[in-house]
Amino acid sequence: MTTHHTSSPPATASPFRPAWWLRGAHAQTLFAALCRRHPPLAMRQERWELADGDFLDLRFAGDDQASDRPTVLLLHGLQGSHKSAYIQGMMRAIVARGWRAVLIHFRGCGGELNRLPISYHSGHTEDLAHVIAEFQERQPHAPLAAVGYSLGGNVLLKRLAESGRDVGLKAAVAVSVPYDLGCAAERIERGFSRLYQWHLLRSLRHMVREKLQVTPGALPLTEADINALRTFRLFDDQVTAPMHGFAGVEDYYTRCSSGPMLSRIQTPTLLIHARNDPFMTPAAVPDATALPDHVQLELSRDGGHVGFVAGRYPWAPTYYLERRIPDYLAAFLPEQPARASE
């Protein structure tokens, strides 16, 4: 289990400064998720069939015709998709650097339910490994990097730790990661954060109902059982763990939390986190002094969960992540002219 700290560990101070009109964890989190406007972004979809009989839906943006064009893989958060504002914003920022952006939808998140009686979870890294290997085979001269948000960041960090030098990525960035899944599940049951839990669990319960209609034997749950799943811990104990072969919720949290694995990462990696993230407590933040030299923790006082909204005026917000992340990746990926059509 992750060691809990009484105060935030030393880390690189973030240059991020929240908008004066949008201070606080919930303001940052909710504005970024609900109030953002973004113009349409041209995307192309591909469906990749998997050896186990399932499939992955990927969305491409940028010059996908150039086989050697640097490619940035994106992993969304819980119940996210290509429609998520933070994904669209980052894809646009990646394309502006002349790179290709590729969103990997977790199973069942691309708009169509996946075929098998499984879903996705915080520690399922096999699909990411498959996508990386497929890109290496199809486009061996295209440098690869990856960016993961929240649950997707946990998946990315776990994969980096598992694979060591053989991960196939030049660099990685993980944002607002629940490094200790048990700690995150406890935190989101308290105060205003219960609103996020309510919203996400409503979507997850709907997913379970759909799954049981297609694969009735996937879980021994009745409609009353599904309606009773009112906390993440209950959901993970009754759905995530049994669906994916874990002994129970504690087994799942212990085996899939990325925090204890960070010392094994051998890829240049940037961790971006806010101390006031409403999805977890500061106790879950990694100890920066225990990280490998090539893993950098950038910690800000404000920013919320995948928020980090700046800007002088409410009608002209700016999004720190969409400048900071490409700037970091530019040290490892050559910038190229962007397509005029993007």
Q: Looking at the annotation, which residues are catalytic?
A: 150, 277, 305
Nearest to 125 by CA among 313, 288, 240, 258: 258
Q: Which residues contact 217 (CB under 8 A, 6 or more apart)?
A: 117
Distance CA 215, CA 18 (A): 46
